Each structure stands twice: as structure tokens, then as C-alpha cells.
Amino acid sequence: MRVITGRCTAAFDGPGSRERKQHGECLVLVKPDDTVLVHDARGYQPVAWLTRPDAVTVTDEAVVAQDGDQHLRVTRHDTTTREVSASAAGVPVGDCPDCGDRLVRARGDVSCPGCGARYGLPAGATVLEETCECGCPRLRVARGGEFEVCLDRDCESLDERVREHFDRAFDCPACGGDLRVLRRGGLIFGCEGYPDCETSFAVPQGVHDGACECGLPAFETGSGRRCLDSTCGVPVE
């Protein structure tokens, strides 16, 4: 993240708006996603900004951002620049096993502001207070059953736990073959007859609970009881 402070002139123009200029002692932020924010001494809202533009150029003379027909130019008159580090900010969920800093949960990931370590977080997962032998927090995840696994997938695989319990446990409604637990983008029940039979269903974020009237398994989820087939029109009571 680049932080520019000093006397600047910010000029913005775009479709349907007149060119607007602000001049004064300002703080200019160029964020990691290239968003440019120009702040003055009043209030919390920037006096000029361009969010995630297509292109940003930073020179000793100006900061120029362009997004389609929108342009923001911040001319630098008497300024200084600092390069500062930035990380995701989130809810603390434990200690990093690599550097000892606090891990934080934000935007579907758990990451470490200290060393940059990052772990993908399964949707709907609960981070527990318990710690794995490797030092990472443990998770509780509902995927057919409730499983407790390590945050680090290289240490303990959620896929393998689901596979142990549900691989070949259900029949394909199209051809009668076994439904396998597979990873294809997400975790799915896919027919063993693929590619001749392309039947597949996403593994629900819930716990197996009996059967639907259509014959497929039913699952108790956070939004209620449902069939494995999300398009099934048979009511599941």
C-alpha cells in the first residue's frame, strides 16, 4: 500500500459529471487492489476516489487512475511517499504455527498478518478453540456428517473424512451405479459411471438424515431438511 501526504490537486471527470477539482494538504492512499482514495482533514469520506480502476500509474509528478471513461488525476506539488505493508483484518482465531502471530478469519480464509500464511476455509466451517498437534486450529464442518479436522488440509483432509463415511454409500438415480465422493471444483457425489453417466450432486452443508421420497438421501441443513438433489420437487418433511 502506498501512502502519499502533502499538497495535491485532485481532478476527477467521468460520463455525466463535470470535472471536479480539490486542492489542499491531502492524504492519498493507493491500495493493493489499485483503489485510489484522496482524503482531506474533514470527515471520514474521501474528497475524490476511484474504486478498483483498470489502470493506475504512480510517478513523482502525479497519481493517475483510469477506469473506462472515468479518470482521476492527483497532481503532486509538495509530497512524500511511504510504502507500507497491509494484510487482511479479521476475527482472531488462534496462533500461527509458523511465526506465532495471531491468525485471523476474513473473507472465507484464515491468514496470518505476520508471515502471510493462508489457509482456505470450507464454507460454513466453525473454527474451534482446540488446536491440532501441528499447531493450527481445528474446525467443525458439516458435510454429510459433522467432522472435526485440522485447518491445514495438508495435515488432515476433510475430503478423506467424508470419503471414509459416504463413498459408495448411495446409488445413482440415473443408472444405479455407486455415487463416489469426488473433488471437482467443489466436493460432490458423482456417479462411478462417468463419463457415460454424468450424474452428480454437491455434498450439502448438513448432516445425513434419512431419505427423501424420491429415494435419494436427505440432509438436515441450516435452512431446513432437504434432498441431496437441490432441484427435487418432492417435499422433504
Which of 133, 158, 183 is the C-terminal boundary of a domain? 158
CATH number at residue 23: 2.70.180.20
Percent of the chain with pLDDT over 70: 97
| Same domain membership, residue 152 and residue 121 | yes
Q: Cell digits for 65?
A: 487512475
The per-residue pLDDT for 39 is 95
Q: Is residue 234 part of a domain?
A: no
User: What is the arithmetic mean of pLDDT over 116-129?
Assistant: 92
Number of domains comprising the chain:
3
What's the pLDDT at 225? 92
Is residue 118 located within the same domain as residue 179? no
Does 204 share its domain with 142?
no
Containing structural domain, residue 73: 2-83
The pLDDT tens digits of the residues spanning 41-57 come to 988 899 999 999 999 99
Average pLDDT estimate for 173-199: 95
User: Which of the pair, 149 or 42, is modelled with greater confidence?
Assistant: 149
- Over the stretch 76-90, which tens digit does the pLDDT of each residue have? 999 999 988 877 788
Percent of the chain with pLDDT over 90: 80
Cβ pair 181, 167 in contact under 8 A: yes
Candidates 165, 203, 197; CA nearest to 183 is 203
Say how far apart CA 120 and CA 105 lie, in whole Å: 10
Query: Which one is predicted more confidently, 50 or 236?
Result: 50
Confidence (pTM): 0.68
Confidence of residue 223 (pLDDT cuts 50, 70, 90): confident
Q: Which residue has the cell 504455527?
A: 97
Residues 6+ apart with CB under 8 A from 134: 97, 150, 152, 155
Answer yes or no: do 151 and 98 share one domain: yes
* pLDDT above 70 for 166: yes
Tell me if 34 is assigned to some domain: yes
Are residue 126 and residue 101 in the same domain, yes or no? yes
Looking at 127, 142, 158, which one is the last position of a domain? Answer: 158
User: Is residue 167 located within the same domain as residue 183?
Assistant: yes
Looking at residue 89, what is its pLDDT? 82
d(C-alpha 129, C-alpha 173), whole Å: 41
Mark which of 42, 61, 83 sits at the end of a domain: 83
What is the rounded average pLDDT for all residues in the chain?
92
Q: In what order do the strands lie in the sheet with 91-95?
A: 91-95, 102-106, 109-111, 118-120
Both 153 and 167 in one domain: the answer is no
Q: How many CB atoms lie within 10 A of CB 16?
A: 5
Q: What gap in Å lies between CA 205 and CA 57, rounded to an integer? A: 44
